[in-house]
Amino acid sequence: MGETLIETVENRHKSVDISNNGLIDVSKSSYLILLYNSTATYKLYQFALSFPSAKTLNWSIPIKLQGNANASPEHRKCLVAKDASDETVIEWYYGSGGQLKYYPLAKEAYWSSEIFHLEPLPIGTKHGVLRRVEEYFPKLWEEANNPTN
């Protein structure tokens, strides 16, 4: 299953290159990963667009125990690939739209930025999901924020 997953992703990359008449050069494309922490410190890493060989990874669907020791185990809803040092490299959440997470090591990046900070948004600035809800559903938003008794 893991080999098929990686092959599928790599084939999608190739098909983008072909279907766009050379407008996108996948051979020069990269994965960009932005790391951050709670103090709003950021660092950007650039990685090759290829994954490690699926044959070199250990694939499993881990079991997680619920609550107490007598509870029956439950399968997590993801396929996990670990490297030889037992570190998670890939997670594929087949139950949530096929979400794929890739965790390359920072030392494998071929470029990284300096640490940086983003300017905080001004107080009162609407952003993110709540802003979108307000834009898409203005009447419902107004009703929810100004309930009449």
Tell me the pLDDT tens digit for each residue of 12-57: 888 876 666 667 778 888 999 999 998 889 999 999 988 999 999 9
Mean of all residue pLDDT scores within the chain: 84
Give me 32's structure tokens.
């960009």
Residue-number span of the structural domain to which 26 is assigned: 2-145
pLDDT of residue 81: 95
Closest CA relative to residue 73, chosen from 58, 82, 85, 63: 63
Q: Is the entire prediction scored with pTM above 0.95?
A: no
Beta strands in the chain (DSSP E): 30-36, 41-48, 58-60, 63-64, 74-75, 79-82, 88-93, 99-102, 111-112, 116-117
Q: What is the mean pLDDT of residues 62-86?
A: 75
Q: What is the mean pLDDT of residues 59-63?
A: 88
Number of domains composing the chain: 1
Q: Label residue 107 by pLDDT band (50, 70, 90).
A: very high
Alpha carbon distance 133, 140 (integer Å): 9
Closest CA relative to residue 8, chosen from 78, 98, 109: 98
Give me 146's structure tokens.
């100004």
